[in-house]
Amino acid sequence: MLAEITAAVQSLRTLGELAKAAKSLSNQQEIVMAVSDVNFRLMEAMTVALASQERHSALLTRISDLEKEINDLKIKQSAAEKYSLHKFPTGTFAYRLKDEYEEIQPGHYLCIKCNDTGIHSKLQPFGSRRLKCTTCQTVIQTEADPPSPPKKYVSTARPRW
Ligand SMILES: [Zn+2]
């Protein structure tokens, strides 16, 4: 980019020299050639300026993208520091707010699936032994269901009278 700016400045300097020289030109053909050369130098300078402007714009976009990426990483890192992986007795997992942060906000769990894709989704109670993610609809069981009562034998045979 510095080389392009230097070339543009050089072209403009040459342009100024040609303009000074044009004053001393005596015949028509020399004037036409000088004007043509000035036009050529101007086109070169404009081309360099446009290329430089495009690169500048691309760099600004890249800086903006990187700033957003840094911000997203800071948010993820902050969230990762506040939560730990928790294993429920059923063997299912969720991210649990660490005890030291429960003074700031009530204890809760985050959906692993959503969190791993950058979405901060709190799990909500779903029945008495399950949590549900309202974003991806994943349901995890946190406690085992009580054993079901023994089934009574029901005969399907017709009674004999
Ligand atoms: Zn989810």
pLDDT at residue 137 in the model: 97
Q: Is residue 126 part of a domain?
A: yes
Q: Is residue 133 part of a domain?
A: yes
Q: Is residue 82 part of a domain?
A: no
CA end-to-end span of the chain = 104
As a whole number, mean pLDDT of residues 80-106 equals 93
Whether 43 and 6 map to the same domain: the answer is yes
- Distance (Å) from CA 96 to ligand 1 centroid: 14
pLDDT at residue 64 in the model: 97
Q: How confident is the model at residue 35 (pLDDT cuts 50, 70, 90)?
A: confident
- Give me the domain span that covers residue 137: 88-141
More confidently predicted of 81 and 28: 81
Whether 67 and 106 map to the same domain: the answer is no
Residue 101: partners with Cβ closer than 8 Å, 6 or more residues away: 82
- Distance (Å) from CA 123 to ligand 1 centroid: 8
Contact (CB, 8 A) for 92 and 113: no
pLDDT at residue 152 in the model: 73
pLDDT at residue 42 in the model: 83
Contact (CB, 8 A) for 96 and 80: no
Q: Is residue 154 part of a domain?
A: no
Whether 7 and 53 map to the same domain: the answer is yes
Whether 14 and 53 map to the same domain: the answer is yes
- Distance (Å) from CA 126 to ligand 1 centroid: 14
How does the average pLDDT of the chain come out, rounded? 85
Whether 62 and 100 map to the same domain: the answer is no
Q: How many domains does the chain have?
A: 2
pLDDT at residue 148 in the model: 80
Whether 121 and 65 map to the same domain: the answer is no
- Distance (Å) from CA 62 to ligand 1 centroid: 31
